[in-house]
Amino acid sequence: MGALLVLTIFHDPIIHVYAGEGVPNVALFTFGDSYYDVGNKVFLSTNKNPPQTMWPYGKSRDDPNGKFSDGYIVPDFIAEFMSIPNGIPPALKSGANFSRGACFAVADASILGAPAESMTLSQQVNKFRSMISTWSDDYIEKSLFMIYIGTEDYLNFSKTNPTASAAAQQAFVTSVTNKLKTDISVLYSLGASKFAVTLLAPLGCLPIVRQEYKTGNDCYEPLNDLARQHNEKIGPMLNEFARKPNGGFQFTVFDYYNAVIRRTRRSINYRFYVTNSSCCGQGSHNAYGCGFVNVHSKLCEYQRSYFFFDGRHNSEKAQEELANLLYGANTNVMLPMTVRELIVFPAKENMREFWEPNKQSLRRRRRRSSRDYLDLAAYY
C-alpha cells in the first residue's frame, strides 16, 4: 500500500502515506532544534516546569510531553511511516530503548555559538559518537539521518546585526553553511550515509517575527532573504558529498521554504484558516508565552485551523502534512528522491540523480486539465 488519495469537494488531494511493504526496519536519527526535538530540552532546562511540558502543548494528544506542538511533530510521523513503535526517544533520556534510533535535536540549538541550556549541532554529533556502540556499523549505514537546524543562528544574527551589509550577511551565511558541512562530514565519517536535510523555513513569516518586528500581515523580508541565501547552498553542498567516487553518500532535500510559502499564501487550499498568527500565545500575532506559567496566553478554539501552534512551531495538522511531503511527495518538493526512496535505496551505492536548482513543477509547465487532480505534482 503506497498512498491513499482522497478527493474533496475542492478537488485538493489529501495524502496519507503508509510505510507499506518493502521498507527495511532501520533506525531513525534526528538532529537539529525544536522542530525535531522530542524531549531533549527538558533534560537540559533549569526550569522545573518548561513550557513545552505544560498544557496546552500536547493538547491534541492530551499529552504535554516536551514537544513544541499541540501533538506529534514531524519525526513522530516519519517514525510511524517507518513502523517504529512509539517513535524515537530523546538521546538524553537514560535507560530508553534506542534500538530503532534516537533524537539528538534540542530546542534552541544552533550551528554556531554556544546556546544556553542547549547543544550545537557539533555537540549533538559528539553525543551520537558517544552512543555509537549501541548500533552496528551496517545498521547505521542503512539508517536515516534527518537534519533541520539554522533558525537560531539567523534569528540571533538579525537581532544583533539589524543593519548588516549584504557582504556581512553573505559572510555569515557562508560561515554557518561551512560549519554545517563540517558537522555532516563528521556524521558521514562515523558511518552515516543516508541524509534527509530540510531547508530553512521563511523565517520572516514566523508569527513571533511578525510580532517582534511589527510587520502586520507582511513577512519580515530581511530574515527571509537570509534563509534563501542559506538554502541555496545546501543542495550543491550535498551534491559535492554524493559525487565522490565510491563514497556511498546518499541524500535528499526537503524544500520546506516553499512548502510554507504555499500554505501561507494559499491557506484555504490546504485547510488552514489562520497562517499569520499562532493558536497559543499573546500579543499582536498571539506569538509569545505559550505554556509559560506566568503568562496569560490566549488559546484558539480549534487548533487544526491554524498553521502555527505557537509563535515558531507548527500545529500537529501542519506537522503531519509536512511529514507526508517528506516521505512521499514528488520532486517538486523532495529532490532528488523521497525519504521512502532514500531508505530503500541500496546502501554503499552511488546516487544516480542529484539535487538540481530551480526545478520546475508540472503545474508550471502545462495547463491544468481534469487529470491534473490526480497528479500530486500540481499541489506540492
- Locate 109 and state its grid cell: 540549538
**372 pLDDT above the threshold of 70:** no
pLDDT of residue 15: 43
| Cα first-last separation, the chain | 21
pLDDT of residue 171: 98
pLDDT of residue 293: 86
Which one, of 105, 91, 102, lies nearest residue 32 by Cα? 105
Listed by start position, the domains of the chain span: 3-270+319-378
Lookup result for grid cell 554529533: 125
Residue 95 is classified by DSSP as T
10-46 pLDDT, tens per residue?
Answer: 333 344 445 555 789 999 999 999 999 999 999 999 9
Q: What angle separates helix 256-265 from helix 316-328, to the nearest 10 degrees? A: 130
Give the separation between CA 145 and CA 22, rounded to whole angstroms. 19
User: Beta strand pairing status for 250-254 and 280-281?
Assistant: unpaired
Which one, of 303, 302, 299, lies nearest residue 281 by Cα? 299
| 3-270+319-378 to CATH, choices 1.20.120, 2.60.40, 3.40.50, 3.10.290 | 3.40.50
* Helix (H), strand (E), coil (C) string for 42-59: HHHCCCCCCHHHCCCCCH
- The pTM assigned to this predicted structure is 0.89
CA-CA-CA-CA dihedral for 309, 288, 115, 199, to nearest 10: 40
Give the separation between CA 170 and CA 173, rounded to whole angstroms. 5
130-185 pLDDT, tens per residue?
Answer: 999 999 999 999 999 999 999 999 999 999 999 999 999 999 999 999 999 999 99
Which one, of 210, 206, 212, 216, lies nearest residue 307 by Cα? 206
Q: What angle separates helix 74-81 from helix 316-328, to the nearest 10 degrees? A: 50
pLDDT of residue 19: 52
The residues annotated with a catalytic role in the active site are 34, 310, 313
